[in-house]
Structure 1
């Protein structure tokens, strides 16, 4: 599966748009199920594992150049949202310091190995 630059751009724009839009919490039924694969939510563990295996195979089939482009966008998006996510995390958990959380995002975004 080879993606051209416009396809990568489209995927990244969708991801950024989803990150920028507040989402409602998943509605979980009485039996504990939460969805049908939408947004990574699956009915069963087996479905989730199967989807992950398929996604991994698809990722491995991409060229190194395409994978680099995807990783670069993940890094860029992580850095762009580091402050907001850090503040939300602090508010939700009551733990840690926002500047420390931002720094962790920066280190992870810049120092985590990519395709190397």
Structure 2
């Protein structure tokens, strides 16, 4: 699987479109689409990997398994469904904070087993 296809597949699993993914990664809206035909710049690929919560090696196909915990996708889905709190939209900063708290909690649960 090529890098573009892997990114597209992960974005779909996370419930995010490629334009939105590019925007969150600080890239131009159509940058990722250009990766269908050319190799992405490493710094841009790092930004996308960070947003998707995977390693660059995974996006490049050097790792076959997503090294993140199985619950990463579930945490993203939960955050995608929680669009408002007290009548106000959840900001990107708040989403990242919530994600960090949930991951830390689940990691602690894994250690207790």
Could you state the TM-score of these two structures normalised by the residue count of structure 2? Answer: 0.27
Q: Is the helix fraction higher in 1 or 2?
A: 1
